[in-house]
Amino acid sequence: MSALAAIYYFDKKKYEASSIWLGISIATKFFPIVFLLPIAIIFYKRNKIKEFYLYLFRTVLITLAFNLPLAIVYFDGWWRFFKLNLNRSDDFGSIWYALNLLGFKIPGINYLYTTLTVALFIALAIFLFKLRTTPNLAQVAFFAVAIFTTTSKVYSPQYVLWLTPLAVIALTKSNQQISFWFWQATEITYHLGVWQYLAGYTGASFGLPSGAYAIASILRVVGLLTFTYFLLREISVRSTVKSG
């Protein structure tokens, strides 16, 4: 909810409130930090560089206000989250884990994951810079989170709770609903599959085979990418029409 509040206030041009809510979001769940890329580009395209620095300063200040006391009092516990994510290997739900289950052994996964993530964020930045009009944060925040989740070394079932609200507020036309519901169908398929797959760890006779679980994981990513493609295309077309 705090991430959505940050988007809402940003698009209302209430930057102080937005930065406070974003700082709270990053402090409670680190992923909203990816919002800073589209936010920086939107400020740049609006020729509001000074406002961006103030926005960034407030966001960092709020994030530190929540994190520093915990880091000082109980550093090991505070650092554990970051250490786990830095050192973990491929895990449930991720495209890397699915490929591993299908027999594709990927060496240097941390390097590849980092490279792919950076490359996709650069591609997103180029896309946003090339738009003839400046989009709202509500329209493009979804893309940043989609990159974060699909390239991550773990793609937890609850990530859909991050993505779906952002997708809904980014929807602009009814014809995008087909790709949206296709994506949601793949999410349902995955959610059913992951619990059946985990049942196999307990020795249950009805557990889902690893190959089927891998396919469900890949299908889930395909569903998300399909919706993302149609959303990107619509924003690009609408930007061209508005500037024409």
- pLDDT tens for residues 153-178? 999 888 898 899 999 988 876 667 88
Proportion of the chain above pLDDT 90, given as a percent: 65
Q: Is 57:18 a contact under the CB 8 Å cutoff?
A: no
Confidence of residue 202 (pLDDT cuts 50, 70, 90): confident
pLDDT at position 129 is 93
Q: How many domains does the chain have?
A: 2
Q: Is 145 found in the same domain as 238?
A: yes
CA distances, 81 to each of 84, 87, 106 (Å) = 5, 10, 24
Give the predicted TM-score (pTM) of the model.
0.90
Confidence of residue 241 (pLDDT cuts 50, 70, 90): low
Amino acid at site 223: G
Q: Is 34:144 a contact under the CB 8 Å cutoff?
A: yes
Last residue of a domain, one of 58, 87, 116: 87
Residue-wise pLDDT for 87-115, tens only, equals: 888 889 999 999 999 999 888 888 898 99
**Alpha helix positions (H), 29-136:** 36-45, 49-73, 75-87, 95-101, 109-130
Q: Is 33 found in the same domain as 101?
A: no
Q: Is 149 found in the same domain as 54?
A: no
For residue 242, is pLDDT > 70? no
Last residue of a domain, one of 87, 122, 147: 87
Structural domain boundaries enclosing 70:
1-87
Last residue of a domain, one of 87, 112, 129: 87
Q: Is 146 found in the same domain as 82?
A: no
Q: Is 119 found in the same domain as 141?
A: yes
